[in-house]
Amino acid sequence: MSEYPSGSNADRQMLARIPMEKLLDCFFLQIRNLWRVDGLYFLGIEGKFGTDAATEIDAGVWETMAKIEAKSLQKIFQVGQNPDVSTIMDLLRESSWALDQPFKIIEASNKKTVLGIDRCRTQETRLSKGLDEFPCKKVRFGYLKKFAETLNPNVKVNCLVCPPDKHPKNSWCKWEFVLQI
């Protein structure tokens, strides 16, 4: 049995009997749970040690996650070495981060892609709880940069806007992926 996908045969058979709509609901619940755990850990660290310490820890965790996730998705979808920007974006769309961002805008070509998030669940949740905007630029930049460079070291990621930067109300962050030759 290959390393991917994981799970016992009994687990796979059980899941195969679930109607597709319910299986997708379960899948997205697990993605949301990943983010809930991430948020709860962050808030716990932030409450005890402050936003800077929590951000530093979070950034390191998400850089490691990016590398693991990029390699896993590359293997699952059988993507070769040094894929173009469009292929990297296809894999990023399958990542836990992107699947939890339903309000994304992607403008893609083979050499350059711009990814924008016009609504952010993390930021909206923080604001609804009376917390300040999360200065997520360091965390998100590290994740996206590591994800891209794991797949192709010739792809550079540039932050166009992300908190703590000032941003328009209808755009939380915007990222550019460029193939450098």
Under the banding of pLDDT at 50, 70 and 90, the label for residue 1 is: very low
On whether the CB atoms of residues 154 and 82 are closer than 8 A, the answer is yes
Under the banding of pLDDT at 50, 70 and 90, the label for residue 170 is: confident
Q: What is the pLDDT of residues 40-74, one digit of tens each?
A: 999 999 999 999 999 999 999 999 999 999 999 99
Residue 110 reports pLDDT greater than 80 = no
Phi, psi at 48, each rounded to 5°: -90, -35
What mean pLDDT is predicted for residues 30-43?
91
Q: What is the pLDDT of residues 144-158, one digit of tens each?
A: 999 999 999 999 999
Which pLDDT value is given to residue 5? 57
d(CA 77, CA 45): 35
What mean pLDDT is predicted for residues 1-16?
72
Q: Where are the alpha helices (DSSP H) in 50-176?
A: 51-76, 85-93, 96-99, 121-128, 137-151
Which pLDDT value is given to residue 4? 52
What mean pLDDT is predicted for residues 122-129?
90
Which pLDDT value is given to residue 99? 84
Residue 3 reports pLDDT greater than 70 = no
Specify the residue for token string 């940069």: 145
| Distances 31 to 24, 78, 181 between C-alpha atoms, Å | 11, 22, 35
The CATH architecture assigned to 9-179 reads 2-Layer Sandwich (3.30)
Residue 2 reports pLDDT greater than 60 = no
Residue 122 reports pLDDT greater than 90 = no
Q: DSSP class of residue 163?
A: T
Q: Which of 9-13, 32-36, 101-105, 157-161 has the highest mean pLDDT?
A: 157-161
Nearest to 144 by CA among 171, 116, 181, 168: 116
Which pLDDT value is given to residue 6? 63
The packing angle between helices 121-128 and 20-49, to 10°, is 50
Q: Which helix (H) or strand (E) holds 155?
A: strand 155-161
Q: DSSP class of residue 134?
A: P
